[in-house]
Structure 1
Amino acid sequence: MSFEHIVYSVESGVALLSLNRPQSLNSFNEAMHLEVREAFKRIKKDKQVRVLVLTGEGRGFCAGQDLSDRNVDPTAESPDLGLSIDKFYNPLIKAIQDLPMPVICAVNGVAAGAGANIPLACDLILAARSAKFIQAFCKIGLVPDSGGTWFLPRLVGMAKAKEMALLGGAVTAESALEMGLINRVEEDDELREKALELARSLATQPTQGLAYIKRALNQSFDHGLDEHLELERDLQRLAGQTKDYREGVAAFMAKRAPEFIGE
C-alpha cells in the first residue's frame, strides 16, 4: 500500500508518521484513517522500530474530522457519528496507547477537535511555540471524543478540563506546558528535529523495559494499590528476563556505556 495522505519512514529505529493533508490542516477523512491504520500495522510488525514520532505536514498538526467528508445534510436524517468513532477514532487512540514503545507527538501548529486529543494519547508531547490546542467540539454541539474527556481531567484537573471543553477557547503552547498538558515547547523551525533527536535517544534505550513502564503507568488509574503492586511485580519479572537488563547491569558493573538491543 502506497501512501497519499500520510508520510511514513523509518530510520535508526525511529518511525516517523506525518499526517499529510496540509490543505485541510491535516483533518481526517476516511482515506487518511485507513493509511494511518496501515502504518500502525507496519510499526507493530517491524522489529527495527523502537520509537514512533507522530506529527503533521504544513502549518497545523490536525484539525480533527474533515466535516466535508461526512456530507452532513441538514435536511437529511441525522448521521450516526458513533459509527465513525467506533470504526476509526477509538481504534486509533487504543493503538497509540497499546503500542509497546514510546510515542512522541510533535504538535506543529493548530491541534483542534480530535486533533487536540490524539496527542494526549501519546507518551510525550512536544509543541511548536505557535501551537494551539482547541477543544472545538462545543462550537458545533458535539462532545470531545478521541479520549478527550478521559485524558483532560487526568492531565490538567477537572476545572481546567471543563473550561477547555465547555468554552472551546484556544490554549497556547506556553499555557499547555504550564498546566501540564504537554512536556516541552520548541521553536517552530526546530520542533521536528528536536522530536527526532529525542526519539533517536529513546531508540538506544531498553525498549521492552520502556514498554513495561508505559503499560504500568497507563493502567495505574484502573487499579487499587494492591492490584497495581501485583502488576509491577509481574512486569518486573518480565523485565528481569530481558537481554537489555543483563546488559544494563553488566555495563554498570564494568563502568561502561550500555549497548541496548531492544530485547
Structure 2
Amino acid sequence: MTDAKNAVRDEEPTILLERDDDGVATLTLNRPARKNGIHRGMVDAAITALDEVASDHRNRVLVVTGAGNAFCSGMDLVEPMAPDELTFMRRVGILCRNLHELPIPTIAKVRGPAIGFGANFALCCDLVLAADESTFGELFAARGLGLDGGGSWSLPRLVGPQKAKEIAFFAQSLTGSQAAAIGLINKSVPGDSLDGVVAEWASTLAAGPRRALSMIKSQINTALETSFSAALEKEAVAQAQAARASEVKEGVKAFFEKRKPDFRAAD
C-alpha cells in the first residue's frame, strides 16, 4: 500500500492508494471520523495519488471509494478554504478534471452518504456502483451554494436539464436505488453485494484492452461537445492507430483460435 501526501493535522493518511496484481488500483478517501469530508490537504493528496496512478502503466482500472461507512460527506465546512475560496475551488477543479480524464476506466464504489461534492466526485468516474441504501445528496441550494465537483456538467448530461434542475433546486437526496432508476448512476445493489460486484466489474475491465478502453473513454467524454463530422475523424484516427497495435493482433488471433484474448500479454 502506498500512502499519498497527507495533511499534517490528520493522524492517518487522508488518501490511501493500493494496487493488486491484476492492475486494479483503489483510491480510498480516508477521513472516516469526518465521513471523508474534503479539505485542502486531502485535495492535494488525491491529486498526487491520481498522478501516480496515471504514470504507472501497470494500473488498468481505478476504483474510488471511502473509508468507513461513508463515501464522502462533501467539503468539510469546519476547515477553511485555504489559501482563499477561489484558489481552493480551482484546485478542487483540477482534482475532478484529472479523475474525469484519467486514461483508464474508473469506478466509484459508493457506500453510505455521498453528499454535495461527494456526490459529484463520484460522478466524475466513468461508472458508479452503489449500495441500495446509499445516499446521493445534491444539497448545495440548502446551504446557499452553487454546484461544484463538476455537477453542473455531469447532472444535465446524465438525467437531462429539467431533471437536473429539479434535483439541484430542491436540494434533493436520492437513495442508490433511486439514483440508478433515473440513470444518475449505473447500478445499485444490496450493501453486502457491493464489494463483489465492483470487484467483478474491475476485474473484467482490468483484463480488457487498456489502449482501446482509453480511446473509447476519450471519445465518449468529448462526444457531446463534438460535431458528427469531427467525431468521425477522431474515430478514423483512433482506429488507424489501434489497427497497428498489438491489442488488435491479439484480439484477432484469439477470435480465429476461438479463445479469450489475453490483452495483458499484448501490452
Unaligned segments of structure 2, at least 5 residues: 5-12
Task: Give deviations 1:212-246, integer Å, cap 9, x for gaps.
Answer: 00000001011111111111111111221221111
Cα 1:177/1:105, change in 2 over 3 Å: same
**Which residue of the partner structure matches residue 24 of structure 1?**
34
For 2:90, the equivalent position in structure 1 comes to 86
Aligned residue number for residue 76 of structure 1: none
Work out the number of aligned pairs and report it: 256
The amino acid of 2:66's aligned partner reads G
**Pair 1:165 & 2:174 matched:** no
Which residue of the other structure, out of 211, 234, 237, is the alignment partner of 2:214? 211
- 1:80 is displaced (CA, Å) by 4.9
**Aligned-partner SS, 1:60:** coil
Deviation at 1:158, TM superposition (A): 1.3
Q: Which residue of 2 aligns with 1:124?
A: 127
Structure-2 separation of matches of 1:207 and 1:235: 14
Change (3 A) 1:66 1:203: same
Q: State the secondary structure of the residue aligned to 2:78.
A: helix
2:9 equivalent in structure 1: none
Deviation at 1:160, TM superposition (A): 1.2
Runs of at least 4 residues off by over 6 Å: none
Distance 2:36 2:194 in 1: 17
Structure 1 residue 189: Cα displacement: 2.2
Is this contact kept in 1: 2:73–2:116, CA < 8 A? yes
Higher RCO (CA < 8 A, seq sep 6+): 1
Deviation at 1:31, TM superposition (A): 1.8
What's the secondary structure of 1:136's corresponding residue? coil
Residue 10 (structure 1) aligned with residue 10 (structure 2): no
Name the stretch that deviates more: 51-60 or 253-262.
253-262
After TM superposition, give the deviation of residue 193 of structure 1 in Å: 2.9
TM-superposed deviation, 1:169:
1.7
State the shift of 1:71 in Å: 7.2
Distance (Å, rounded) in 1 between the aligned partners of 2:139 and 2:132 = 20
Show the 5 A alignment for 1:1-263: 2-3=3-4, 4-11=13-20, 12-70=22-80, 80-87=84-91, 89-261=92-264, 263=267
Q: What whole-Å deviation, never above 9, does each CA across 1:93-116 have from its counterpart, x for those lacking one?
A: 111121111000011111111101
TM-score normalised by the chain length of structure 2: 0.92
Consecutive unaligned residues in structure 1, runs of 5 or more = 73-78
Q: CA RMSD in A?
A: 1.6
Q: CA deviation at 1:137?
A: 1.0
